[in-house]
Amino acid sequence: MSRLLPDRGTPTSAAQSSAAARNTILILSGYLVGTTAAHVCPPTLERAALAAGLIGTLAYCVLAYLARQKRVQDARLAIQKAKVRIERRMDRHVRIASARWMLKLHAAQSWSHEQYLPVARSASSIR
């Protein structure tokens, strides 16, 4: 029996749709600025088309900047998680190796004379 996992979307599909939206804004803004520069639209609409084109271009720049900042933040987070994972693995291996070394060092020492030292003497042990 297989379990169906909920569709949460992949990060690449979200990034691709976001990039497509930004590119669409840029294309439409370029079209509006181009029609204004070519004097294709009536003079009464030229200012509105130019303003819409400039606003769209500005929106594209802001969205591209925010997307880049998000990618940088995601990359930093991924690096930090990988760093923590590697450090934990290293700590486990170093801890195990150092514990084995300490056990060998402890076993190599002669402890027999220190284990049975008398703490107090009784009257019968003096005779």
Global confidence as pTM = 0.54
* Whole-angstrom distance, CA of residue 36 vs CA of residue 54: 11
pLDDT, position 1:
43
For the chain, domain boundaries = 18-104
* Whole-angstrom distance, CA of residue 85 vs CA of residue 83: 5
pLDDT digits (tens, 9 = 90+) for 50-60: 888 889 889 88
Percent of the chain past pLDDT 70, that is, above it, reads: 69
* Whole-angstrom distance, CA of residue 31 vs CA of residue 23: 12
* Whole-angstrom distance, CA of residue 65 vs CA of residue 60: 8
> How many CB atoms lie under 10 A from the CB of residue 15?
14
CA-based torsion, 102, 105, 110, 114: positive or negative = negative
